[in-house]
Structure 1
Amino acid sequence: MTKKNVHTVPSKGGSGWDNKVGGEVVSHHHKKETAVEKGRSIARANEAEHVIHDKGGKIQQSNSYGNDPNPPKDQR
């Protein structure tokens, strides 16, 4: 796999959750928690961004496991 973002999204059929890389389903899970864990491991292995969506398809959370182009600024 190339360095593309991993998206954890509800499956099209409404029966579970999918992890997609480049628009292609790479894993399917019955529970969201399991899908998020697998998506995280795929993103870490590829040093990519992991984007987690809610049931409505909106972005709920995003985590970077590679070279973050916009790292958080320290407020010290």
Structure 2
Amino acid sequence: MAKRNQHVVPLGNGWAVKGEGNNRFTAITETKRDATTIARDIAKNNKSELIIHGKDGKIQAKDSYGNDPFPPRDSVN
């Protein structure tokens, strides 16, 4: 199974979850919060990225649940 990034996008008066490259929506919800919860669970299971869009369609936030090739370094004190 391909690791598809999950997008939370506005859809009319509601919100939708759509896997990157998919033609169909995975889920349609009334609230952005519900769509984000669903998309986050899918992204975690697929070890992919969650991309959250605003009402204007622009990206507002991203979360990565995959294998990060450049993880943050631990600080040493």
TM-score under structure 1 normalisation?
0.84
**How far off its partner does 1:71 sit?**
3.1
Cross-structure match for 1:57: 57
Counterpart AA for 1:8: V
CA RMSD in angstroms, aligned pairs only:
1.6
**Matched pairs, number:** 74
Match of 2:68 in 1: 68
Q: Where do 4+ consecutive residues of structure 1 move more than 4 Å?
A: 73-76
Matched position secondary structure for 1:37: helix
- Secondary structure of the residue that 1:7 maps to in structure 2? strand
**Higher Rg:** 2
Q: Which 5+ residue runs of structure 2 have no aligned equivalent?
A: none
1:42 matched residue in structure 2:
42
